[in-house]
Amino acid sequence: MKTSPSLRPYQEILPTLGNNIYIDNSAVLVGDITLADDVSIWPLVAARGDVNTITIGMRTNIQDGTILHVTRKSIHNPSGDPLIIGADVTIGHQCMLHGCQLGDRILVGMGAIIMDGAVIEDDVFIAAGSLVPPNKTLKSGFLYVGNPVKQVRLLKESESAFLKQSALNYVELKNDYLAE
Q: pLDDT tens digits for 109-131?
A: 999 999 999 999 999 999 999 99
Task: Please state, rounded to an integer, the average pLDDT across all residues of the chain.
Answer: 95
Q: pLDDT grade, residue 4 (50/70/90)?
A: low
List the beta bridge partners of residue 28. Answer: 46
User: Closest Cα partner for 83 from 131, 32, 40?
Assistant: 32
Residue 104 has pLDDT above 70, yes or no: yes
Percentage of the chain exceeding pLDDT 90: 96
Measured in degrees and rounded to the nearest 5, phi and psi for residue 170 equal -75, -30
**Which domains, from first to last, does the chain contain?**
7-179 (2.160.10.10)
Model confidence over 134-157: pLDDT tens digits?
Answer: 999 999 999 999 999 999 999 999
Phi, psi dihedrals of residue 161, rounded to the nearest 5°: -65, -35
| pTM for the structure as a whole | 0.95
Q: What is the rounded average pLDDT of the residues 38-47?
A: 98
